[in-house]
């Protein structure tokens, strides 16, 4: 009973004149407890009598729902100071109604009135219904205020597909149906949550099943019809919004028993859901499918086909008619996934970049059990840092005793307290709000394009932490070139054999003061990131491999001097690496040989791919020209300790 209702009952059971004590007895099935302060209250004469005192409270409970209205009762007997027989009595008639809201999930959550993280946590999980199960639909399933289904004989099957993306919620009510002549059950949500979820009330079975939209999308409450007398009502809960700056991801559903005329709340039960976050997958997870755009360089596509076959995954080529000569598919989108105990599916995050590939993710990736999400700045302005070559994620790490089992997201930005370029706030807010992969902001504004994938990558390893961080390193490149110069190979030239490209020898590169000055500046920028990555990811020098790479400044920002070796595609142990066209020493590219010597001891296979067909427009960035759908983490995000 609510506090207000207890006060009303006390007023109804008014104490007769001359009464000094009382006792309370209930019929079968009624439990009576007396709560009192023994220092302030003395028990009255008689084994069951209690002194009438404001510090004595009688609590009545029942464990079994009533069969009929008022089928149980409590008798209160009042006694005077000297009387052994009661001077007056009162009856309290009881009807017990059992009512609770729950999520029937046997895998994880025993209790659901609050949400807590960790292996021993509790709460329910809700997916954003952001895929498109019906092939004829023009939008995501969450855009429609009804359960999606095909027409005709497939309706039952495809309704089930849409329902699988929702969470089941049960309202169980036991007790006499006649009680609902004076009471009603109301399912309700808060104003803040009304546009974050949608609830459907199920009725009927099989092909006759119907799903009535009862909550969400501006519907805040729903009176549950109890006229049929059924014990259980089935609801399907659909997520409409991912966690974001203005939404924690927590949604509460309440069911309240109301006494009619006027509406007086008697009891409320609550279920709390957390919307499943979007989770990004790192290079170290198994590749499933590689997406690449058609390319004027036919050798590149053939090399990619061979690489994908070696890695035993699928290749999907986006034709030119769909990419509109925009081949930078990594910049356009990023793959991740969402997961609940009952369902998991991949979700593509579409960047606000919007060039030739702007419609590809929505038109060609969104589909059955493949979701879609995007974030667009409110005023439409985007910079190069909003492309998703500027978005990466580390493998799982432990930092000063704190574990990040899903890794940490990495985004490129300007230096702290500077006025440089940053990823748009709409995207950053979204990434921070997912909570399970807390972002680290790196310094990438020193690059012309400004993407983190131009100076770092992660590759798998069987020892230590299970991976290595690769960092582009002008210092490592100068060290290599000086070594080759001492060995008598100073005349070996960069870019030798390429048509219409100016070659430059090792001697000339080492003597070029401008190139040296540029490289020293770039190395200082990379060193700033090196320190940040070691601190934020818990890395040591043994976890980092320096990859030889030179940069040159154009104005105040840098470009790769030769194809960017760390801008590689990682497919398990097979690495597709931009061919650097380095100086040929003893018949082999000395840059390729150095990279092999660094990575092959880890069991990795280095495959150098020619992605260099126009020196002035393209510098071999294979990672930016490909995109990889990967297997999800085995770790369940709700087991994280935050």
Mind telling me the catalytic residues? 331, 451, 453, 624
CB 171 within 8 Å of CB 236: no
**CA dihedral sign, ordered 522, 526, 527, 528:** positive
Q: Which residues pair with 633 in a beta bridge?
A: none
Cis before 258? omega within 30: no
Residues 242, 248, 253, CA angle at the centre, nearest 5°? 90
DSSP 4-55: HHHHHHHHHSPPPTT--EEEEEE-TTEEEEEEE-TTT--BPSSTT-EE--TT
Length of the chain: 642
The residue among 176, 184, 171, 165 whose CA lies nearest residue 72 is 176
CB 628 within 8 Å of CB 569: yes
The rounded distance, in Å, linking the Cα atoms of 421 and 419 is: 7
Give phi and psi for 239, each to the nearest 5.
-80, 140
Q: In 406-455, where do the E strands start and end?
A: 409-413, 440-443
Give phi and psi for 208, each to the nearest 5.
-95, 5
258, containing H or E segment: strand 250-259
Q: What is the three-class DSSP state of 599?
A: helix
CB 185 within 8 Å of CB 196: no
The rounded distance, in Å, linking the Cα atoms of 575 and 324 is: 28
């Amino acid at each position: 009973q609510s506090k207000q209702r207890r006060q009303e009952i006390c007023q109804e059971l008014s104490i007769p004149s001359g009464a000094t004590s009382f006792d309370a007895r209930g019929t079968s099935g009624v439990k009576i407890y007396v709560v009192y302060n023994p220092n302030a209250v003395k028990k009255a004469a008689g084994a069951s009598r209690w002194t009438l005192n404001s510090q004595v409270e009688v609590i009545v409970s029942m464990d079994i729902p009533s069969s009929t209205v008022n089928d149980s009762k409590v008798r209160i007997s009042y006694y005077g100071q000297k009387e052994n027989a009661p001077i007056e009595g009162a009856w309290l008639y009881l009807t017990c109604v059992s009512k609770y809201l729950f999520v029937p999930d046997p895998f994880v959550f025993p209790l659901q009135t609050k949400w807590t993280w960790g292996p021993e946590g509790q709460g329910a999980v809700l997916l954003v219904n952001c895929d498109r199960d019906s092939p004829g639909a023009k939008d995501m399933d969450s855009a429609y205020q009804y359960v999606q289904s095909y027409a005709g004989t497939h309706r039952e099957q495809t309704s089930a597909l849409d329902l699988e993306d929702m969470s089941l919620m049960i309202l169980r009510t036991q007790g006499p149906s006649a009680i609902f002549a004076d009471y009603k059950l109301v399912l309700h949500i808060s104003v803040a949550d009304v546009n974050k979820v949608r609830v459907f009330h199920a009725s009927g079975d099989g092909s006759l099943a119907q799903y009535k939209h009862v909550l969400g999308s501006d519907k805040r409450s729903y009176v549950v019809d109890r006229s049929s007398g059924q014990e259980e009502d089935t609801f399907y809960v659909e997520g409409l919004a991912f966690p974001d700056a203005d939404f924690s991801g927590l949604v509460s559903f309440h069911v309240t028993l109301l006494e009619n005329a006027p509406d007086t709340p008697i009891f409320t039960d609550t279920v709390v859901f957390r919307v499943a976050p979007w989770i990004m997958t790192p290079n170290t997870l198994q590749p499933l499918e590689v997406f690449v755009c058609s390319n004027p360089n036919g050798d590149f596509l053939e090399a990619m086909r061979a690489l994908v076959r070696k890695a035993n995954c699928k290749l999907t080529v986006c034709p030119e008619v769909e990419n509109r000569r925009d081949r930078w598919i990594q910049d356009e989108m990023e793959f991740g996934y969402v997961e609940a105990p009952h369902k998991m599916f991949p979700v593509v995050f579409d960047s606000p970049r919007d060039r030739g590939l702007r419609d590809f993710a929505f038109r060609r990736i969104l589909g059955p059990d493949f979701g879609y999400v995007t974030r667009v700045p409110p005023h439409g302005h985007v910079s190069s840092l909003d492309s998703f070559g500027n978005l990466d994620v580390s493998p799982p790490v432990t930092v000063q005793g704190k574990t990040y089992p899903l890794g940490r997201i990495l985004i490129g930005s300007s230096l702290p307290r500077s006025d440089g370029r940053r990823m748009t706030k709409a995207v950053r807010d979204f990434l921070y709000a997912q909570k399970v992969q807390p972002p680290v902001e790196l310094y990438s504004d020193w690059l012309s394009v400004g993407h983190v994938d131009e100076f770092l990558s992660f590759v798998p390893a069987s020892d230590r932490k299970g991976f290595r961080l690769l960092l582009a390193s002008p210092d490592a490149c100068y060290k290599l070139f000086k070594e080759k110069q001492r060995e008598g190979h100073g005349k070996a030239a960069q870019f030798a054999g390429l048509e219409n490209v100016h070659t430059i020898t090792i001697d000339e590169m080492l003597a070029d003061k401008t190139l040296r000055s540029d490289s020293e500046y770039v190395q200082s920028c990379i060193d700033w990131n090196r320190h940040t990555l070691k601190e934020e990811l818990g890395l040591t020098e043994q976890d980092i491999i320096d990859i030889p790479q030179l940069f040159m400044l154009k104005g105040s920002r840098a470009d790769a001097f030769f194809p960017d070796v760390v801008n590689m595609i990682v497919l398990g142990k097979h690495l597709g690496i931009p061919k650097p066209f380095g100086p040929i020493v003893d018949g082999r590219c000395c840059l390729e040989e150095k990279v092999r010597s660094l990575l092959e001891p880890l069991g990795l296979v280095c495959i150098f791919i020619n992605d260099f067909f126009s020196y002035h427009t393209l510098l071999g960035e294979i990672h930016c020209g490909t995109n990889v759908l990967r297997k999800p983490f085995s770790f369940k995000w709700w087991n994280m300790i935050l």
